[in-house]
Amino acid sequence: DIQMTQSPSSLSASVGDRVTITCRASQSISFFLNWYQQRPGKAPKLLIYAASSLQSGVPSRFSGSGSGTDFTLTISSLQPEDFATYFCQHTYSRRFGPGTKLEI
Amino acid sequence: EGQVVESGGGLVQPGRSLRLSCAASGFTFGDHAMYWIRQAPGKGLEWVSGISWNSGSIGYADSVKGRFTISRDNAKNSLYLQMNSLRIEDTALYYCAKGGTDYGDYTFKSWGQGTLVTVSS
């Protein structure tokens, strides 16, 4: 089974900061990687699909990169509404990473 | 993107059954694969089950196989999850999610707000 890990598990940052979250797969998954944002008490929301494609309506400060086993989600300039938990997910195994909690 | 709204959650004793529903609107429901994903309190996300647009392909997580049954009614724009032999570890917020037209692409494009299932004696 493919395992997904994320680092860090939590991260403190400030409004305006540039932040990078890493996701790693236990074996190559090509570019079949999605990123979701979950604000407190809310449902998850698709941000990035196929490793680097921005979902419609998602601000351009979010970007994704990577292929194979190593992937990153970058937020170029943190906004107050970005403080949330971020999950990566391998598209075909349906498996999610454990999440990265982004805190002020 | 459309909208999905879950219902049917509640408090149930171990071993009992519950049926969840998901009502879809704002998109062509019959064109899309649909999924159930759950989140135990304070925990991460776990895919539970999925169904293709025509019910021809269905899948379950090992943790629920043989106990849960997914179904859909395209005429009613509705998705269902019949949960039998419930266990304490099934306690979670259950989300309904819209997929793409390809069942094998597990990209969850939009999610409902979830319905809470609590299994306790």
- Concatenating the DSSP letter of every residue in A30-88 gives TT-EEEEEE-TTS--EEEEETTTEEPTT--TTEEEEEETTEEEEEESS--GGG-SEEEE
Q: Would you state the pLDDT for residue A101?
A: 97
**Phi, then psi, of B90 in degrees rounded to 5:** -85, -5
Q: Which residue of chain A comes nearest to B4, CA vs CA?
A: A43
Residue A43 has its nearest CB partner, among B1, B106, B112, at: B112
Residues 6+ apart with CB under 8 A from A93: A1, A2, A29, B106
Given a cut of 90, is residue A104 above it in pLDDT? no
Q: Would you state the pLDDT for residue B97?
A: 96
Q: Is there a cis peptide before residue A8, judged by omega within 30 degrees of 0?
A: yes
| Residue A98 near residue A86 (C-beta atoms within 8 A) | no
Q: Which one is predicted more confidently, B70 or B1?
A: B70
| Joined tokens for residue B116 | 């809470």
Q: Would you state the pLDDT for residue B84?
A: 98
Residue B45 has its nearest CB partner, among A57, A93, A96, at: A96
| Joined tokens for residue B103 | 């069942």
Q: Which residue of chain A comes nearest to B36, CA vs CA?
A: A94
Share of chain B above pLDDT 90, in %: 93
Mutate to test the interface with A, among B22, B108, B115 (most CBs of A within 10 A): B108
| Joined tokens for residue B51 | 């169904």
Rounded CA-CA distance A47/A77 in Å is: 16
Rounded CA-CA distance A97/B7 in Å is: 27
Q: Measuring CA to CA, which residue among B97, B44, B89, B88 is closest to residue B70?
A: B97
Q: Would you state the pLDDT for residue A1?
A: 87
CB contact (8 A) between residue A45 and residue B45: no
As a whole number, mean pLDDT of residues A35-60 equals: 96
As a whole number, mean pLDDT of residues B10-37 equals: 97
Rounded CA-CA distance A80/A30 in Å is: 33
Rounded CA-CA distance B15/A87 in Å is: 32
CB contact (8 A) between residue B45 and residue A87: yes
**Cβ contacts of B113 on chain A, cutoff 8 Å:** 42-43
Q: Does A45 touch chain B (CB under 8 A)?
A: yes
Mean per-residue pLDDT over chain A, rounded: 96
CB contact (8 A) between residue A56 and residue B113: no
As a whole number, mean pLDDT of residues B94-108 equals: 91
For A53-101, write each residue's pLDDT tens digit.
Answer: 999 999 999 999 999 999 999 999 999 999 999 999 999 888 999 999 9
